[in-house]
Amino acid sequence: MTGPAEAVQERDPGLQPERTRLAWRRTTLACTVVAVLAAKQAVHDETGPAGLIAAALCLLVWLGFLRVAHHRIRTLGGAPRPAPMPVRAALTATLCTIALAAFAVAIVV
Amino acid sequence: MLRSVGAATGNRAGRVRRVTEFVRGLRLWFAPQRVREEGETPDYRFSLANERTFLAWIRTALALIGGGFAVDQFLPGLAWGVRAGMALGLLAAGVLCALRAVNHWVRCERAMRRGEDLPVTRFPTVLSLVVAVVAVVMVVVVLFGWEGGR
């Protein structure tokens, strides 16, 4: 942990880490909206076991995205010069997005 | 060298170069440490800006996918074929957008490490044209399909 004086001194005047953190939060929010839409549709259409499993899968995808975002936000908040995003994080975020799309295709067809 | 060839000759060389670039980028997805191996680490602010661009594209993809859900959910008066077609189109655009986001992010990261120019792309143009066409189709379908349906 850095002391407040040190943190102020080392702070990036362009607030790049903060902006990136907020971008992650916005993206998490967008992911939440889509996941809620998906879960709502799954439960609304057929509230049998299939619908519940589908809703649980949505929740799982959402939790996966949340985990990546949380890790990244913590990294960005910790260091004054945060390391670049790991490729794994980018891939996970993309896979969660594609999983939601695949889920939507399954509902439409 | 490949770059100058692509710039000098016409479509074919450019296409080949693009495919090679794409395959190389694809390999990097699954061998992340290789991104870090070449070149030198750029200013962290550039990497963060690249990350934000990636996130913006992911949000665009999520919005398109949400649009697919919305078409399916909120336009029940339409014929199944039209509704499914529009929804699938939006969803496919969303998937493409997500894949392209990660690919472009890797390519930019690599270009910055090597000190090359950032990759140019016509994806935004294509995407905006697709969105415009879908919007026009939706307006037409809602205006005329609605009366036909009820």
Domains of chain B, residue spans: 1-31, 43-149
Per-residue pLDDT, B14: 76
Question: Domain residues for A96?
Answer: 16-108
Angstrom distance (rounded) from CA B19 to CA A64: 31
Within 10 A of A78 (CB to CB), how many other CB atoms are there? 11
Give yes or no for A85 touching B (CB within 8 A): yes
In the numeric block, which tokens belong to residue B74? 């909120």
Nearest 5°: the CA angle A43, B138, A35 is 25
Between A60 and B82, name the one with better pLDDT: A60
- 3-class secondary structure per residue, chain A: CCCHHHHHHHCCCCCHHHHHHHHHHHHHHHHHHHHHHHHHHHHHHCCCHHHHHHHHHHHHHHHHHHHHHHHHHHHHHHCCCCCCCCHHHHHHHHHHHHHHHHHHHHHHC
Terminal alpha carbon distance of chain B: 63
Give yes or no for A74 touching B (CB within 8 A): no
Nearest residue on chain B to A28, judged by CA atoms? B59
Taking CB atoms and an 8 Å cutoff, what residues of chain A touch B59? 26-27, 30
Question: How many structural domains is chain A composed of?
Answer: 1
Is A1 inside any structural domain? Answer: no
Q: Is the pLDDT of residue A83 over 90?
A: no
Helices (H), chain B: 2-8, 11-30, 33-37, 44-74, 80-114, 123-140, 146-149
Query: Locate tokens 């699954």: which residue?
Result: B30
Taking CB atoms and an 8 Å cutoff, what residues of chain A touch B89? none
Q: Is the pLDDT of residue A34 over 50?
A: yes
Nearest residue on chain A to B57, judged by CA atoms? A27
From B12's Cα to the closest Cα of chain A, the distance in A is: 31
Mean pLDDT, range A39-46, rounded to an integer: 76
Per-residue pLDDT, B1: 41
* pLDDT tens series, chain B, 150 aa: 444 444 444 577 777 777 777 777 777 666 666 666 677 788 888 889 999 999 999 999 999 999 998 888 887 777 778 888 888 888 999 999 999 999 999 999 888 888 888 888 889 999 999 889 888 887 887 788 654 444
Cβ within 8 Å, pair B55-A23: yes
Is A77 inside any structural domain? Answer: yes
Per-residue pLDDT, A1: 46
Closest C-alpha among B16, B31, B66 to residue A107: B66
Give yes or no for A28 touching B (CB within 8 A): no
Query: What confidence category does residue A47 fall into, taking pLDDT thresholds of 50, 70 and 90?
Result: low
Angstrom distance (rounded) from CA B146 to CA B150: 6
Between A7 and B60, name the one with better pLDDT: B60
Q: Which of B50, B56, B58 sits opposite A94 (nearest CB)?
A: B58
Between the CA of residue B13 and those of A47, B1, B6, B22, B23, what are the distances in Å? 54, 12, 5, 14, 15
Is A44 inside any structural domain? Answer: yes
Please answer whether residues A30 and B97 qualify as being in contact, where contact means their C-beta atoms are separated by less than 8 angstroms: no
Angstrom distance (rounded) from CA B6 to CA A92: 33
Mean pLDDT, range A91-104, rounded to an integer: 91
Angstrom distance (rounded) from CA B112 to CA B98: 21
Cβ within 8 Å, pair B68-A101: yes
Cβ within 8 Å, pair B48-A88: no
Nearest residue on chain A to B102, judged by CA atoms? A90
Per-residue pLDDT, A25: 93
Per-residue pLDDT, A15: 83
From B91's Cα to the closest Cα of chain A, the distance in A is: 6
Taking CB atoms and an 8 Å cutoff, what residues of chain A touch B45? 12, 14, 16
Please answer whether residues A41 and B69 qualify as being in contact, where contact means their C-beta atoms are separated by less than 8 angstroms: yes
Per-residue pLDDT, A2: 47
In the numeric block, which tokens belong to residue B76? 């029940």
